[in-house]
């Protein structure tokens, strides 16, 4: 006989879970007690806020391809964690959230911290469920694991009533995870798709998603290169295709470069693989007409729910990205100049004017491109500063980017900690704005305790830059609610056991970054950035002047 907490933990170990990110709560004490005996097999990473824990789990799932586990208490605990659940859903990242619940004898009375999780997360998570009977734990945990991983991966929320976790049962735990083969493309539909591509004048591959394997990425690259078709990555998934390949032409995301917009708009056939056609990737759904695009569309996705959800494809294929890539055969056509121009335009996008800032991020990012190892992991949250890792870094086949499609501030630091836990031997660099960093900077304590300290670059410009930019464009010279008064970030870092340093000039950065990489306890570099440098090619003053001129006729 074992109680529900023990049965749950034994099932998770059998499924292959090795890390759980969480904040403790009295509603799931039985689970915490069971974790006392699994050190070295299933470890509990103690976080400082449930939002940080959920971000870590979402990033862990995105990086590893295995469901990231998040454990939080009922009510306020899971509401804090909701930001990570939403992020995992928009990222299509596998994640399982285990949340305590009031006892079954109190359900429906609005007991202390009670929430109906199926109602609350029914439209946010991929699946939300409550386990009312202890003997059903293996069944539901097994289903949650498969649900999080298959089709379009995503988060599953499981509510655990307190009395269910303490109830005894003789139910056997799971023995192993289910083996679910990735859906393969229909041969007839695949042949039609290849024929459509072969007859194109301006074909384009648009890809994304986080459930690629190394073999799948290599197969897709071989197909694109052998066919000489330009490749564009969906919003914040540029790490899924080798940026050094001659066919890679850029990322379709926020702040989309004009040449990428032109590639999508002017393509006559688009092979869209493993993407959900989000707002950012389509420039507000303007690059392709809704619901019938001008471009002839081939949409391949592991979930039939994504195909035809927004755009009606000429050919829709239900298949996983890796199975699709393995089945593709090269096509030939007269589009070499089309591909070459896309590549040349992308390379040209790295040419930048000097930035009006004490620390010039154009120079800094160029330095990072030169010195970071090929398997570096970059992370970021949300803000104007994300243009640097997202648009001015080149991701090779071993490099990874953890960045939220949800545009969630505060994601970067927890994601970097999760990456250090998952891949302790790799260099992890977090880009954070000063406002973004302060959303989750308390998780430096988690990094210290877990021995998982990344290098953090705080781009400190004293403002919520994205909102300031919108203000200056819409209400020029009327600054309201966007100016930040910040603490000493270097001192804060040192208080958490990190190396902390203020970088005042561009010339000081290389030596400071070398010290950061050499630090055995991670580092926080506080970079002096001017608010004038809100975007790489337009200063704040120029932005304001243009808006005033437009307003004044």
The C-alpha atoms of residue 199 and residue 463 are separated, in whole angstroms, by 51
**Domain-embedded: residue 181:** no
Domain end, chosen from 169, 200, 228, is at 169
Q: Are 66 and 94 in contact (CB under 8 A)?
A: yes
Q: CATH number, domain at 240?
A: 3.40.50.1220
Q: CATH number, domain at 34?
A: 3.40.50.970
User: Do 11 and 93 share a domain, yes or no?
Assistant: yes
**Domain-embedded: residue 530:** yes
User: Do 547 and 429 share a domain, yes or no?
Assistant: yes
User: Do 305 and 366 share a domain, yes or no?
Assistant: no
The C-alpha atoms of residue 58 and residue 53 are separated, in whole angstroms, by 9
**Domain-embedded: residue 177:** no
Residue 533: burial class (beta carbons within 10 Å; 0-12, 13-18, 19+): buried
User: Do 420 and 334 share a domain, yes or no?
Assistant: no
**Domain-embedded: residue 521:** yes
Cβ count within 10 A of residue 292 = 12
Q: How many domains does the chain have?
A: 3
Domain end, chosen from 141, 169, 197, is at 169
User: Do 523 and 476 share a domain, yes or no?
Assistant: yes
Q: Are 346 and 248 in contact (CB under 8 A)?
A: yes
User: Do 9 and 158 share a domain, yes or no?
Assistant: yes
User: Do 340 and 372 share a domain, yes or no?
Assistant: no
User: Do 227 and 87 share a domain, yes or no?
Assistant: no
Beta bridge partners of 270: 204, 297
Domain end, chosen from 348, 380, 404, is at 348
Q: Are 453 and 420 in contact (CB under 8 A)?
A: yes
Question: What is the chain's alpha carbon radius of gyration, rounded to the nearest angstrom?
Answer: 24
| Location of structure tokens 């392709």 | 288
Give pLDDT tens digits along the chain (553 positions).
999 999 999 999 999 999 999 999 999 999 999 999 999 999 999 999 999 999 999 999 999 999 999 999 999 999 999 999 999 999 999 999 999 998 888 888 888 878 899 999 999 999 999 999 999 999 999 999 999 999 999 999 999 999 999 999 999 999 999 999 999 999 999 999 999 999 999 999 999 999 999 999 999 999 999 999 999 999 999 999 999 999 999 999 999 999 999 999 999 999 999 999 999 999 999 999 999 999 999 999 999 999 999 999 999 999 999 999 999 999 999 999 999 999 999 999 999 999 999 999 999 999 999 999 999 999 999 999 999 999 999 999 999 999 999 999 999 999 999 999 999 999 999 999 999 999 999 999 999 999 999 999 999 999 998 899 989 899 999 999 999 999 999 999 999 999 999 999 999 999 999 999 999 999 999 999 999 998 999 999 999 999 999 888 7
Q: Cα–Cα distances in Å, from 218 out to 189, 203, 221, 333, 501?
A: 22, 20, 5, 22, 40
Phi-psi region of 16 (alpha: psi -120 to 50; beta: other; left: phi over 0): left
User: Do 365 and 339 share a domain, yes or no?
Assistant: no
**Domain-embedded: residue 481:** yes
**Domain-embedded: residue 174:** no
The residue range of the domain holding 133 is: 2-169
User: Do 510 and 397 share a domain, yes or no?
Assistant: yes
Q: Give the angle 229-233-234 at the CA atoms, nearest 5°.
A: 135
User: Do 403 and 477 share a domain, yes or no?
Assistant: yes
Q: Global pTM?
A: 0.96
User: Do 287 and 382 share a domain, yes or no?
Assistant: no
**Domain-embedded: residue 353:** no
Q: Are 387 and 363 in contact (CB under 8 A)?
A: no
**Domain-embedded: residue 92:** yes
């Amino acid at each position: 006989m074992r109680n529900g907490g023990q049965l749950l933990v034994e099932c998770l170990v059998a499924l292959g879970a090795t890390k759980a990110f969480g904040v403790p709560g009295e509603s799931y004490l039985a689970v915490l007690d069971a974790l006392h005996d699994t050190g070295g097999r299933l470890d509990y990473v103690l976080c400082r806020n449930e939002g940080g824990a959920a971000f870590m789990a979402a990033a862990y799932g995105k990086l590893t391809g295995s469901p990231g586990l998040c454990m939080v208490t009922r009510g306020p605990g899971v509401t804090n964690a909701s930001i990570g659940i939403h992020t995992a859903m928009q990222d299509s990242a596998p994640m399982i959230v285990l949340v305590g619940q009031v006892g079954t004898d109190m359900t429906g009375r609005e007991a202390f911290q009670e929430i109906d999780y199926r109602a609350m997360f029914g439209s946010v998570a991929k699946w939300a469920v409550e386990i009312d009977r202890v003997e059903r734990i293996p069944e539901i945990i097994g289903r949650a694991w498969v649900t999080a991983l298959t089709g379009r991966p995503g988060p599953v929320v499981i509510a655990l009533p307190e009395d269910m976790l303490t109830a005894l049962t003789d139910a056997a735990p799971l023995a192993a995870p289910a083996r679910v083969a990735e859906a393969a493309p229909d041969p007839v539909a695949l042949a039609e798709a290849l024929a459509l591509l072969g007859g194109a004048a301006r074909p384009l591959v648009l890809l994304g998603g986080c459930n690629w394997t190394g073999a799948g990425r290599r197969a897709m690259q071989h197909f694109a290169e052998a066919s000489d078709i330009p490749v564009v990555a969906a919003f914040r998934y540029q790490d899924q295709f080798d940026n050094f390949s001659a066919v890679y032409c850029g990322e379709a995301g926020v702040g989309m470069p004009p040449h990428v917009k032109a590639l999508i708009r002017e393509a006559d056939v688009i092979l869209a693989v493993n993407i959900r056609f989000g707002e950012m990737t389509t420039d507000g759904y303007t690059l392709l007409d809704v619901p019938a695009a001008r471009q002839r569309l081939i949409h391949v996705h592991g979930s039939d729910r994504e195909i035809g959800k927004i755009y009606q494809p000429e050919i829709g294929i239900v298949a996983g990205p890796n199975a699709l890539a393995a089945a593709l055969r090269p096509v030939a056509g007269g589009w070499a100049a089309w591909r070459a121009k896309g590549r040349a335009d992308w390379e040209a996008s790295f040419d930048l004017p000097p930035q009006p800032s004490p620390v010039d991020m154009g120079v800094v990012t160029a330095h990072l491109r030169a010195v970071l190892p090929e398997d570096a992991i970059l992370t970021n949250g949300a803000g104007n500063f994300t243009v640097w890792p997202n648009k001015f870094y080149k991701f090779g086949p071993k490099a990874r980017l953890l960045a939220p499609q949800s545009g969630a501030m505060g994601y970067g630091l927890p994601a970097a900690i999760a990456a250090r836990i998952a891949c302790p031997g790799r260099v992890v660099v977090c880009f954070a704005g000063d406002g973004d960093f302060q959303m989750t900077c308390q998780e430096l304590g988690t990094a210290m305790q877990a021995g998982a300290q990344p290098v953090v670059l705080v781009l400190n410009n004293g403002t919520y830059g994205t909102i300031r930019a919108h203000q200056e464009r819409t209400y020029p010279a009327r600054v309201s609610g966007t100016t930040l008064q910040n603490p000493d970030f270097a001192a804060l870092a040192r208080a958490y056991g990190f190396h902390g340093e203020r970088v005042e000039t561009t010339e000081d950065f290389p030596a400071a970054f070398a010290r950061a990489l050499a630090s055995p306890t991670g580092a926080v570099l506080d970079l002096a950035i001017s608010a004038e440098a809100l975007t790489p090619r337009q200063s704040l003053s120029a932005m304001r002047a243009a808006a005033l001129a437009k307003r004044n006729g």
